[in-house]
Structure 1
Amino acid sequence: MKTYSYLLEHDYGLAPNPFGKYCTLGVCKPKIRGSRNLEIGDWVIGTGSRALENISGRDFVHHIIYAMKVEEILSYEKYWSDIRFAYKKPILNGSLVTVYGDNIYHKDNNGNWIQEDSAHSLADGVTNEEHLRKDTSGKNVLISKDFYYFGDSAPLLPKDLFDVCHSGVGEKIIKSPKQDKLIGWLKENFHNGIHGDPINWIEHNQLNLF
């Protein structure tokens, strides 16, 4: 068992998408999602960055934004067709939860990728080729019921766990005993599920003030 750790530069509720019974990682982070070394039982964590401070005005460095235990690994086609995840298909005129649905990729009868109108497409539903290429290169969607999503309530990690945070682009791999201490700290101090709203939702809240 191992943990993939990376910095979040934005947090819209899209990657990860923590809503409903499942936390899913279906877009962004293609190297993690497509890793041949990724196994059921591994963890993925996202920690705060200076970019999130620029958005919110709060310091999120060394704060944990989310952690998910990988319990299923699905292809995009299986994710799209699985009735359990129909609620994660985006509805852009709906609530923020539905706007940032991550169930957006599937193939047509000729095997060509379709990118649904979503937070990763361009205006008027035009395909964003850069996002399509990057997202689908990850091949898989990661699924978890055993997750902790903190968002704007992200707690500060204990100082002896600061080094689980990655410090740059990409990701780092954490193994035992440091991983065991991190997961133990989560389980001892927090319940599974959602503890806060996505940090970038402050942008929507600010727009609604005017």
Structure 2
Amino acid sequence: MSAATPQKPINGSIHCFFNPEGDHTMSAGHTMGYKMTHDNGFAPNPFHGYLTLATCKPALRRNRGKGEWVAGFASQALCHSAREQGVAIPYMGLIYLMEITEEPIPTGAYFNDTRFAAKKPKPDSPKAIERCGDNIYEPLGDGRFHQLLNDFHFDEPQTPVEHSHMQHDLSGERVLVSSHFWYFGRKCWVPKGGWDRLLGDVHLSEARTFWCPDNFASKVSVQLALDGIRAGILGDPCLWEGDAAGRSGGCQSSC
């Protein structure tokens, strides 16, 4: 089965399934969706003028390009974790939608790009926005990287390489950058009447990573405009606890 082949279940509804290691020749403008298990301002990081995906989802980061879209939805696990923090979010609520507005940036170049200097984490800061920076891999000039101290993807010295956040993150090779995005966080969005009403007969997949239906981004952006919702940061991350956020709930390499 090809990476974006629609399959028709017995009930007659159409779902699109995605194999992240399969065909990556889909034209620009399509939307890759996935279910988020964590939302703490780290992956993605929507702050300081750009939404960036610099860690987690390595296959997605390797294979998506300028002009394509990425959508993050609330998984059952994220709904449960948020509920434990006193935050109620709907399953498959839209956490963020980003257009990749420039060519993906190699990890080393991202670290040295002055536009993203503010995304280098400050673990001891009292401000959550400074603790959750995703610019954590400093190139050493010989193909190796130094991992900055951070609250989310920090490897202890005894961590086996094969289980390390660093190896997992760096296998993505590139950082996705957007200057055109909606980040809802804990105010995650579901269209009035549900996704089926907006999308029609082609439904969102139950897979963990999947192609969204054709014209997903355009349908969503039009509906958001009709609802008077402008692009940008629209809510705090689901797992923030006020200004004490960022100290717990760090995602694991399964993200």
Q: Quick check: TM above 0.5?
A: yes
- Cα deviation, residue 52, structure 1: 1.8
| Letter of the structure 2 residue corresponding to residue 108 of structure 1 | L
- CA separation of 1:86 and 1:172: change in aligned 2, threshold 3 A: same
Gaps of 5+ in 1: none
Partner AA of 1:181 in structure 2: K
Structure 2: which 5+ residue stretches go unaligned?
1-28, 248-255
Pick from 15, 20, 36: which aligns with 2:43? 15
Q: Does 1:141 align with 2:175?
A: yes
Of 105-114 and 174-183, deviating more is: 174-183
Give the alignment partner of residue 79 of structure 2, picking from 45, 53, 60.
53
Q: Which amino acid aligns with 1:185?
A: Q
Aligned residue among 117, 125, 144 for 1:86: 117
Letter in 2 for 1:159: W
Deviation at 1:24, TM superposition (A): 0.5
Q: CA RMSD in A?
A: 2.3
**Distance in 2 between residues matched to 1:154 and 1:28, nearest whole Å:** 20
Superposed CA offset, 1:79-122 (max 9, x none): 11111100000000111111110001132133212111112104
Q: Are the equivalent residues in 2 in contact too, given 1:117–1:126 (CA < 8 A)?
A: no
Amino acid at match of 1:32: L
Alignment-derived partner of residue 77 in structure 1: 108
The 5 Å alignment of 1:21-170 reads 21-35=49-63, 38-57=64-83, 58-72=88-102, 73-94=104-125, 95-118=127-150, 119-122=152-155, 129=161, 130-157=164-191, 158-160=194-196, 161=198, 165-169=204-208
Secondary structure, in 3 states, of the residue corresponding to 2:186? Answer: helix
Q: Which amino acid aligns with 2:212?
A: I
Q: Give the C-alpha shift of residue 39 in structure 1.
A: 2.5
Cα displacement string for residues 161-192 of structure 1 (whole angstroms, at most 9, x for unaligned residues): 476644233x1112534443223223433111
Cα 1:15–1:108 change in 2 (3 A) is same
Partner of 2:176, secondary structure, is strand
- 8 A contact 1:25–1:143 mirrored in 2: yes
In 2 relative to 1, CA 56–198 (structure 1 residues): closer, same or farther, beyond 3 Å? Answer: same
1: CA distance, partners of 2:176 / 2:56: 11
Give the TM-score normalised by the residue count of structure 2: 0.72
Q: If each structure's helix is expressed as a fraction of its own residues, which one has the higher value?
A: 1
Could you tell me the TM-score, scaled by structure 1's length?
0.86
**SS state of the match for residue 34, structure 1?**
helix
Which deviates further from its counterpart, 126-135 or 2-11?
126-135
Q: Which has the larger radius of gyration?
A: 2
* CA–CA separation in structure 1 for the residues paired with 2:134 and 2:30: 25
